[in-house]
Structures are given as structure tokens and as C-alpha cells.
């Protein structure tokens, strides 16, 4: 499969960064695919030529288009660059430390495009730890129904998973917001799902490696990252999204987890908008409740629900 495909159905877009050993595993899993109507786009942010050298080893077995970014674009603009260089009808982002779980995985994604044109497609997947142990991840059916009906529910819990498990049309819309790192995938999914049919493939088609080098791991619980992005997404989905109890609970937990004691906390970490009265009320309530009780799920949910029932009018 050494010839470039002029009109591929699927573009496998790989934003790469230094991890040649992980990328090799991904490329090997692509070589083994039974489905062949695809191209491979490697957008390389590496600080050395290790990824470029590896890509050259596969030019005879894969239809690879390689590009080195100088200077490096960073996450998620490196993802966007791979998408911009693609020619396929569908986009299949694959992070370089994830890989296809079976040799029929890409074919199953491709089959879904024929029965559901224009859809937002995602599959079940395996979480893989450093020992190579895998745990299958499936969304609860009740939560899946909720996010299909109301995509903003995804903010409460990302039941889809990382970008490697999704497939969507290459229509030039809804690129990843380059201002984000923490909520970038959820933001993209919500926008896509709001205008597309959602198709879930229950087979575990992707292996997702868990590790500290993942972007989400490096920024987890960092208020300098999470606070600005939280309000960016809130601006997009509007405060009315909190009419949904699941989303309301997420915001309640967001304030609790960072132990916010005043609205100035948000200004301290990059928010520059107006004071939100509902948030002020949540903060005041939580300040009156012993933190050891707030940490207990059942009590936190009870206080949240009471606050929700008494303050719904603030969402009109």
C-alpha cells in the first residue's frame, strides 16, 4: 500500500510529539488493518527528527503524508494542522500513544459511514495501563441517551472518551479550540453532536494508553488551566445549560473541588468576565457547609439538589 490515495474515505490524522516507540505501535496497527481506503497524516511537533525517520520507514507500506512543524504548534493546534492537511471524507484523529485494537477496527468505522452519512461516530475502547493490562470502557446506556438528547450533558461526564475513539466528517467545521487543553475534546464533541446524528459502536475498537505524559494528566487540577477553560465553555453553552441537573452538579463540584471561597478566586486564575450571581450563591452555601461533608458524595448531592431547587429561577 505504498501509493498515495487520491480520494481516501478516511484520513487518519496523527499529531505526533517525540514518542517514536508509541507511534511505531500505532503505525503497525494501521498496517495490519484489513480496510485500505485511507491516508495517514502525521503532523509532527517533535524536537528531534526521530518521528520523521520512523515515518520514512513506513512509506512503502502506508500512504503517509508527513509534515514537521517548525516551530512546534502545541496542543491542540497540532491536531488541527493534521486535519487541515487531510483529503479524506472523514477524520479519524489518532493520538500517537493510542492504537487500533483489532485488524478490523478501521473497517468497522468505515462501515458506519456508509449507513450513517454525516454522523458523529464513536466507539467503545480499552484503557491500557503501563503493564499492558486492558479494561474495556463502555458508556452507561442511560447516560448515553441523555447526551444524545442533550449534548451539553457531556460536560458533566465525558462518556465518549479521548479523540482517538471518534470519527466525524471532514467538512472544515468545528476544529479544536486552540485556546483549550483541558476541555478541548468535550467542547468539540458538544458542538459536533448539536448538529449531527450520533452513532455509538459498541465494539472496543481502540486501545487508549493511560499515562502521565497525556495532556489531560499534565493539566489536571491546575486552576490556571481549568478556570479559564471552564468559563470559555460556559460562554459557548450559556448559563441556561445549568437547567440540566447533571450540568448543574458539575458546576457545584467544580466550585467544591477547588475550595472556592470567593468569586475573586476565578479572577485570580484568569477569568475576566462579569460576576455570576448563581456562582456567588453556590460559593456562599458551600462556605457554610463543613468541607468533610461536602467531600461525601451523598451529602454533596443532597446540598446541590436543594440549591438547584431553590435557585432555578436564576437560570431564566
The DSSP call for residue 194 is: H
Quick: pLDDT tens for 188-207: 999 999 999 999 999 999 99
Whole-number pLDDT of residue 2:
47
Q: How far apart are alpha carbons 192 and 175 in whole angstroms? A: 10
Computed from CA positions of residues 89, 188, 224, 254, in that sequence, does the dihedral angle turn out positive or negative? negative
Confidence grade of residue 60 (pLDDT, cut at 50, 70, 90): very high
Gyration radius (Cα) of the chain, Å:
21
Whole-number pLDDT of residue 216:
57
Whole-number pLDDT of residue 6:
77
CB contact set of 300 (below 8 Å; sequence gap of 6+): 252, 253, 256, 293, 294
Whole-structure pTM value: 0.93
- Per-residue pLDDT at 11 exceeds 70: yes
Spell out the SS3 assignment of 49-110. CHHHHHHHHCCCCCCEEEEECCCCCCCCHHHHHHHHCCCCCEEEECCCCCEECCCCHHHHHH
Tell me what percent of the residues of the chain surpass a pLDDT of 70.
95
Q: Are 300 and 275 in contact (CB under 8 A)?
A: no
Domain range list for the chain: 10-216, 221-315
Quick: pLDDT tens for 207-224: 999 975 555 555 678 999
Superfamily classification of domain 10-216: Spore Coat Polysaccharide Biosynthesis Protein SpsA; Chain A (3.90.550.10)
Whole-number pLDDT of residue 209:
96
For residues 37-52, average pLDDT: 97
For residues 281-292, average pLDDT: 96
Quick: pLDDT tens for 154-171: 999 999 999 999 999 999
Amino acid at each position: 500500500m505504498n501509493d498515495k490515495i487520491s480520494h481516501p474515505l478516511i484520513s487518519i490524522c496523527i499529531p505526533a510529539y517525540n514518542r517514536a516507540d508509541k507511534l511505531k505501535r500505532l503505525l503497525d496497527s494501521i498496517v495490519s488493518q484489513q480496510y485500505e481506503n485511507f491516508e495517514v497524516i502525521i503532523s509532527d511537533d517533535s524536537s528531534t527528527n526521530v518521528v520523521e525517520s520512523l515515518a520514512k520507514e513506513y512509506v512503502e507500506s502506508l500512504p503517509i503524508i508527513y509534515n514537521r512543524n517548525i516551530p512546534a504548534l502545541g496542543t491542540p493546534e497540532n491536531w488541527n494542522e493534521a486535519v487541515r492537511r487531510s483529503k479524506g471524507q472523514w477524520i479519524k484523529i489518532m493520538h500517537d500513544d493510542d492504537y487500533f485494537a483489532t485488524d478490523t477496527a478501521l473497517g468497522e468505522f468505515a462501515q458506519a459511514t456508509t449507513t450513517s452519512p454525516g454522523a458523529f461516530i464513536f466507539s467503545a475502547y480499552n484503557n491500557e495501563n503501563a503493564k499492558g493490562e486492558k479494561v474495556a470502557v463502555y458508556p452507561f446506556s442511560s447516560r448515553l441517551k441523555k447526551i444524545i438528547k442533550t449534548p451539553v450533558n457531556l460536560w458533566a461526564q465525558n462518556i465518549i472518551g479521548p479523540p482517538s475513539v471518534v470519527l466525524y466528517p471532514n467538512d472544515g467545521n468545528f476544529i479544536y479550540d486552540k485556546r483549550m487543553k483541558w476541555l478541548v475534546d468535550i467542547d468539540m464533541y458538544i458542538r459536533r453532536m448539536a448538529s449531527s446524528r450520533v452513532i455509538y459502536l459498541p465494539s472496543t475498537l481502540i486501545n487508549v494508553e493511560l499515562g502521565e505524559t497525556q495532556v489531560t494528566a499534565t493539566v489536571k487540577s491546575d486552576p490556571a488551566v481549568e478556570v479559564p477553560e471552564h468559563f470559555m465553555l460556559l460562554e459557548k453553552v450559556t448559563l441556561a445549560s445549568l437547567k440540566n441537573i447533571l450540568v448543574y452538579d458539575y458546576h457545584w463540584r467544580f466550585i467544591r473541588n477547588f475550595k472556592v471561597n470567593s468569586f475573586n478566586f476565578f479572577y485570580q486564575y484568569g477569568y475576566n468576565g462579569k460576576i455570576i450571581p448563581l456562582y456567588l450563591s453556590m460559593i456562599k452555601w458551600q462556605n457554610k457547609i463543613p468541607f468533610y461533608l461536602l467531600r461525601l458524595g451523598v451529602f454533596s448531592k443532597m446540598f446541590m439538589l436543594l440549591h438547584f431547587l431553590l435557585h432555578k429561577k436564576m437560570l431564566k
